[in-house]
Amino acid sequence: MIEPDHSYAVEARGISKYFGGVAALDGVDFKVHWGEVHALLGENGAGKTTLSNILAGIYRADSGEIAVDGLTHEVRTPAQAIEAGIGMVHQHFKLVETMTVAENVHLGWPDTPTLVSQRVLVDRTNHLMEEIGLHVDPTAKVWQLSVGEQQRVEILRVLARGAQILILDEPTAVLTSHEARDLFKVMRDLVSGGRTVIFISHKLNEVLEVSDQITVLRDGVHEVTRSAEGATPRELARLMTGEERTLEVEHREITGETVLQLEGVTASNDRGVVALSSVDLVARSGEILGIAGVSGNGQTELAEVISAMRRVDGGTITVDGEDVANGLVRKVTDLGVGHIPEDRIGVGIVGSASVKDNAVLRHYWTEGLSSGVTLFRQAVVDFATRLVEVARVQTRSITATAGQMSGGNQQRLVARREALLATRVLIAVHPTRGLDVLAAQEVQTAVIGQRDRGAAVLFISDDLDEVLLMSDRIAVMYEGRIMGIFDRVDADREAIGLMMGGHTLEEAMAK
């Protein structure tokens, strides 16, 4: 028996966990001090979720022991974990959508009075929110809330049950960058109130921004625990992937001809509200034109009007001089326009169809794959086999359904498929969102490769660092307008940030 050492909130020693004989965790040590945000960093499959599930009593470790606040605990069930003060917010929320916030907070909570009126529930919830400093309308139904607000309800639920140690499993994967900022503030408030937050992520920038300590896991092995101060993305990426792996993007002078041209393009979003107002843009062969902006400022609609998925209310869009506005999707595809859509599962993939059918989804009707009436099945198989190989998609077979692949593999498939179609224009919308470092770099490499083959690339992302890394020129979008366009060399991070928030070019330069 070791002397209780109260300086650690959690001290896990030699944790191993096997799934069918394969080690998901292999003798991992994990020590977290009270009052810190401790990031657990690692690529997909590194074992982050498994480790947190063990801390939260959902899985049992095959070996190793866990001390909470210096006392060894048997954490065998979620209830025992809560008793020890550990609460976890999962990657997928567990809220009842048709119930109110107050009801959800109280659901399955032993402290809830047995007979209780809606008013009492709301009062109790208000009280809690005051105490914790998290605010959501307690009378709203969960389905009415944004993802960020739903997440707050989840956090509230866990904290209400007395959790002092909060585990957040990839909380930012579902958030816009704005919502993520809000969450970071909440996390900082919680630790300054004395609680401890374990923050799981595979995004280096976020981890560096919000955490005090960083633990890196790789393939179920503890790599390092170090202070966030002085850590560099490059070093962390190397620890995560085990290789020196930072993308070097070469930028050359652009001499190519104009391929894509938008003039005075106006369009509405699905709710009929103006989403693009009088957008002028030119993209030339062999360049990446980055579109910086906070999500929801017209980027989605911009991508959709170009690929003829959305009608324009005015203006012209040409690809190699051919008018494509309000045209047919197939004509645009035929002109050599590829589109990595924002919603890859909702739009880019048919989950119930095979990997091979998804490989040809966007051009099965073209010569070589079909006669117009029949599909050439062997040609489809050949194409899909090749695509899976170059895109390094991990799937058991090309006849397995696309839906059973991980998100990273689905995006590898979509990104390469569209890059191959994009002989002239490639539109990439948040193409690396939610991907681990390796998959993200593969997608970025595919995009750069297409640029080097002479395509004009429109690279849309709300991650400014990524836009700055990838682009030859950068346009800033705000409320459906282009606020300004920079050459890469003149791009000033500050100024772009201000313009993303709605400042004009003049204002941004003056500051």
Residues making up the chain, counted from first to last: 511
Question: Which H/E stretch holds residue 476?
Answer: strand 473-478
- Decide if residue 63 touches another protein (CB under 8 A): no
Please choose, out of 44-52, 304-312, 341-349, 395-403, the segment that lies near Mg ion by the rule CB under 5 A: 44-52
366 contact partners, CB below 8 Å, separation of at least 6: 334
**Using CB under 8 A as the criterion, what x/- string covers residues 423-452 for binding another protein?**
-------------x--x-------------
40 contact partners, CB below 8 Å, separation of at least 6: 30, 48, 51, 52, 198, 199, 200, 201, 215, 217
Please choose, out of 4-12, 40-48, 298-306, 360-368, the segment that lies near ligand ADP by the rule CB under 6 A: 40-48
Nearest-CB residue to ligand ADP? 49
Q: At its nearest, how many Å lie between Mg ion and the CB of residue 470?
A: 26
- Decide if residue 395 touches another protein (CB under 8 A): yes
Contact 302, 352 (CB under 8 A): no
Among 2, 71, 147, 328, binds another protein (CB under 8 A): 328
Among 2, 5, 7, 19, binds ligand ADP (CB under 6 A): 19
Q: Give the count of residues interacting with Mg ion (CB under 5 A).
A: 1
Q: One-letter amino acid identity for 507?
A: E
Among 309, 379, 381, 509, binds another protein (CB under 8 A): 309
CA 469, CA 481: separation in Å to the nearest integer? Answer: 23
Please choose, out of 34-42, 112-120, 168-176, 370-378, the segment that lies near another protein by the rule CB under 8 A: 370-378
User: What DSSP designation does 119 have?
Assistant: H
Angle at 73 between CA 157 and CA 192, to 5 degrees: 45
Among 408, 431, 480, 484, binds another protein (CB under 8 A): 408
Kind of pairing between the strands at 37-41 and 213-218: parallel
The CA distances from residue 268 to 109, 258, 439, in Å, are 45, 26, 33
What, of Mg ion, ligand ADP, another protein, none, does residue 245 touch, CB below 5 to 8 Å by kind? none
User: What DSSP designation does 100 have?
Assistant: B
What, of ligand ADP, Mg ion, another protein, none, does residue 400 touch, CB below 5 to 8 Å by kind? another protein
- Decide if residue 49 touches Mg ion (CB under 5 A): yes
Specify the residue for token string 């919603």. Answer: 343
Sheet holding 473-478, edge to edge: 337-340, 425-429, 456-461, 288-292, 473-478, 481-487
Question: Which H/E stretch holds residue 198?
Answer: strand 196-201
Measure CA 76 to chain center: 31
- Considering the complex, state which of residue 229 and residue 322 has its C-beta at the smaller distance from another protein: 322
- Decide if residue 44 touches ligand ADP (CB under 6 A): yes
Q: At its nearest, how many Å lie between ligand ADP and the CB of residue 170?
A: 7
Among 12, 46, 279, 332, binds ligand ADP (CB under 6 A): 46
Please choose, out of 4-12, 48-56, 146-154, 379-387, the segment that lies near ligand ADP by the rule CB under 6 A: 48-56
Q: Give the count of residues interacting with ligand ADP (CB under 6 A).
A: 10
- Decide if residue 52 touches Mg ion (CB under 5 A): no
CA 329, CA 276: separation in Å to the nearest integer? Answer: 20
Q: One-letter amino acid identity for 505?
A: L
Q: At its nearest, how many Å lie between ligand ADP and the CB of residue 45?
A: 4
Sheet holding 165-168, edge to edge: 86-89, 165-168, 196-201, 37-41, 213-218, 221-227
- Decide if residue 36 touches another protein (CB under 8 A): no
SS in 3 state form for 222-273? EEEEEECCCCCHHHHHHHHHCCCCCCCCCCCCCCCCEEEEEEEEEEECCCCC
- Considering the complex, state which of residue 19 and residue 109 has its C-beta at the smaller distance from ligand ADP: 19
Please choose, out of 41-49, 322-330, 425-433, 483-491, the segment that lies near ligand ADP by the rule CB under 6 A: 41-49
- Decide if residue 208 touches another protein (CB under 8 A): no
Cα-Cα-Cα-Cα torsion 217, 222, 224, 229, nearest 10 degrees, comes to 50
- Considering the complex, state which of residue 91 and residue 144 has its C-beta at the smaller distance from Mg ion: 91
Q: CB atoms < 10 A from the CB of 403, how many?
A: 15
Residue from 340, 493, 484, 326 nearest 426 by CA: 340
Among 38, 42, 421, 428, binds ligand ADP (CB under 6 A): 42
Among 49, 164, 299, 300, binds ligand ADP (CB under 6 A): 49
Please choose, out of 45-53, 267-275, 459-467, 477-485, the segment that lies near ligand ADP by the rule CB under 6 A: 45-53
CA 343, CA 299: separation in Å to the nearest integer? Answer: 13
Q: At its nearest, how many Å lie between Mg ion and the CB of residue 173?
A: 9
Contact positions toward Mg ion, by CB under 5 A?
Answer: 49
Contact positions toward ligand ADP, by CB under 6 A?
Answer: 19, 24, 42, 44-50
Contact positions toward another protein, by CB under 8 A?
Answer: 18-21, 44-45, 60, 309, 328-330, 333, 339, 341, 346-353, 357, 361-362, 364-365, 370, 372-375, 377, 394-396, 400-401, 404-409, 436, 439
